[in-house]
Amino acid sequence: MPRAPFRRKSGAREANQLVRLAEGLASSKSRAEDVYWERELQSAVTQHLENNDEEAINRALDKAHDAPDATFDALADMVESLTESIVLDSETGPQRVTLFCAPILVWGRSKIPTRTIPKQQLQDIAVQLSAHVFSSKVKIALVDYLFAPDQLPHSYSASRELLQLLAESIRERKHLTMPPESLEEAPDVVCDMRMIVGAFQVTEGEPFYAWQEMTTPVEEARQTCLGVWRTQGGNAIKPLLVGFPHDLTLPRSFFAACRDADLASRAYSIGASVSFLEAVTGTTPDKIVATIGGCWGNGLEEYRIGFTLGDSEEVVHGCVWPLVSDEGDDTPVVDEIESLLRAANVGTIVHLEEQLPLEFCDDCGAPHFPNREGEMLHAHLPEEANTGSMHLH
C-alpha cells in the first residue's frame, strides 16, 4: 500500500523510543518487569504497523544493533510476532490468527516450478496439515500458490496484509486465490526452496500445533509430527514437483519456519550440488573436488564451496554457506561442511586457510567460487553438460 503523501517522515524520536522499550525488555530481570515493557513495546510497534510505517521500525532495528545485547532480538521478536499473528474479536471469544509457512527444500536440473496449486491438491495439502501439524482446535486457509522465497511479501506491512486476507478466507471457509501475474519471476537456480503459505485460526489460549496436544516430551512430539508430515504431506505435495527431488521441513509460524528452512537449506544444498553434478556431467562423486573457502567482507561473512572435476581447475558449480548470528571463524562450521561433503562421497575435499574476497560476477551478480588454488572463479558447467533450461552465461 503506498504511503499517504502527507505523512510526516518518521523521525529519530520514534525509532529511539522503540529501541528504548526493547532495551528495557531485554534487560529486565523479572517476569513482572517483562510484562510492563512488553505491553509498552507491543503497543508502540502495533501502532507503527497499523500506520504502515515501516520506516520507523526499520530505523529502530538498525539502531538496535548498536544497543546492549539482546535489544535487537527483543525488538525483532516483537515486530515479527505482531506481523505474523493478530487477535480478532468474534462471537465465540477472541480468535488468534497466525500466518504460517510450510517450506520445501528442492533442487532440479531444470527450472524449479512456481505455480498455482490445483483445487484438489490444495485441499489434500490442507487436510494433511490439519491432521498432522495443527491441533484439533484449528481452522486453516491456504494460498493457492507454490511460492519461491523471492515471491513472498517483502515487508512487514505486506506480510500483515496477506495475513488479513487469509483471516477473511478462514471466515468464509475457503482458500485464497493468488493471481500469478501479481508475483515477480523466481530466479532460476539449481537448489532453492518452495513454500506453501497459509494462516491458522484458534480461540485465544487453545493449543494450535499438534505437538501441543501430545503427551510425549515436546521435541519428541515435534519430530513425530514432522515425520508424518514428511510422509503424508509429502504425498500430497509430490504432484507439484514431479522430477524435482525435495525434502519437507517443519511447517510453523511464518518467520520461524522461514528461518529454520534457511538453516536447513545450507546442508541440503551441499548434497543437492553433488547429486546435480553427478546428474548433469555423468561424473561419479569420487572424481569431484570440493574446495571450501571463507569469504571476508566486514569479517568472515560466508563460506563458499567451489566444485571442480578431476584435475581441472575450472569451477563447474558452487554453493554458498552464509553464516548466521553468532557463527564466526571460531565455530566448527567447516567441520560440518566437510562431513556433509564426505556423506555425499565427494572424492577430494580442500579447505583453504586464506581469507578470500566476497567476489561476484559484474554481469549477472552470481557469486564466484574458489578452486583449490584459491582463485575465485565464475562457475561454468562443461559444454556437454546435460541440463534443461539452466541459466548459463
Which residues here bind Zn ion, judged by CB under 5 A?
361, 363-364, 366
Residue showing the smallest CB distance to Zn ion in the complex? 361
In 10 A of CB 366, how many CB atoms? Answer: 14
Q: Which is nearer to Zn ion, 259 or 360 (CB)?
A: 360
* Strand stretches in 224-287, DSSP E: 246-248, 252-253
The helix/strand/coil state of 311 is coil
Residue closer to Zn ion (CB basis): 277 or 379: 379
Amino acid identity of residue 94, one-letter, is: P
Q: Which is nearer to Zn ion, 342 or 380 (CB)?
A: 380
Q: How far is the CB of 318 from Zn ion (least distance, A)?
A: 12
* CB 368 to Zn ion: min, Å: 9
Nearer to Zn ion, 153 or 382 (CB): 382
Q: Least distance to Zn ion from the beta carbon of 366, Å? A: 5
At its nearest, how many Å lie between Zn ion and the CB of residue 363? 4
- Tell me how far apart the alpha carbons of residues 377 and 315 are, in angstroms, rounded to a whole number: 6
Smallest gap from residue 385 Cβ to Zn ion (A): 16
Residue 165 or residue 366: which is nearer to Zn ion going by CB?
A: 366
Total residues found in the chain within this entry? 393
**Given the complex with Zn ion, which of 88 and 366 has the nearer CB atom?**
366
Residue 195: CB minimum distance to Zn ion, A: 27
**Strand ranges, E, within 108-245:** 115-116, 139-147, 191-203
Q: Which is nearer to Zn ion, 100 or 369 (CB)?
A: 369
Q: How far apart are CA 45 and CA 33, in angstroms?
A: 18
Nearer to Zn ion, 175 or 368 (CB): 368
Q: CA 328, CA 294: separation in Å to the nearest integer?
A: 10
Q: What is the dihedral of CA 212, 213, 215, 216, to 10 degrees?
A: -50
- Residue 308 C-beta: closest distance to Zn ion, Å: 18
Residues 154-176 as b/e (b if ≥16 CB within 10 A, e otherwise) read eebbebbebbeebbebbeeeebb
Q: Name the residue nearer to Zn ion (CB basis): 330 or 363.
A: 363
Query: Are 189 and 320 spatial neighbours (Cβ–Cβ below 8 Å)?
Result: no
Are the beta carbons of 340 and 267 closer than 8 angstroms?
yes
**What CA–CA distance (Å, rounded) separates 40 from 15?**
14
Nearer to Zn ion by Cβ, of 336 and 359: the residue is: 359
Cα separation, 195 vs 176, in Å, equals 15
Shortest spacing between CB 188 and Zn ion, in angstroms: 13
Alpha-carbon dihedral sign for residues 145, 146, 151, 157: positive
Alpha-carbon distance of 237 to 182, in angstroms, equals: 23
Give the shortest CB-365-to-Zn ion separation in angstroms: 7
Contact 334, 303 (CB under 8 A): yes
DSSP code, position 143: E
In the complex, least distance from residue 305 CB atom to Zn ion, rounded to whole angstroms = 18
Q: How far is the CB of 117 from Zn ion (least distance, A)?
A: 33
Indicate the angle between helix axes 54-64 and 12-27, nearest 10 degrees.
50
Residue closer to Zn ion (CB basis): 87 or 361: 361
DSSP state at residue 231: I
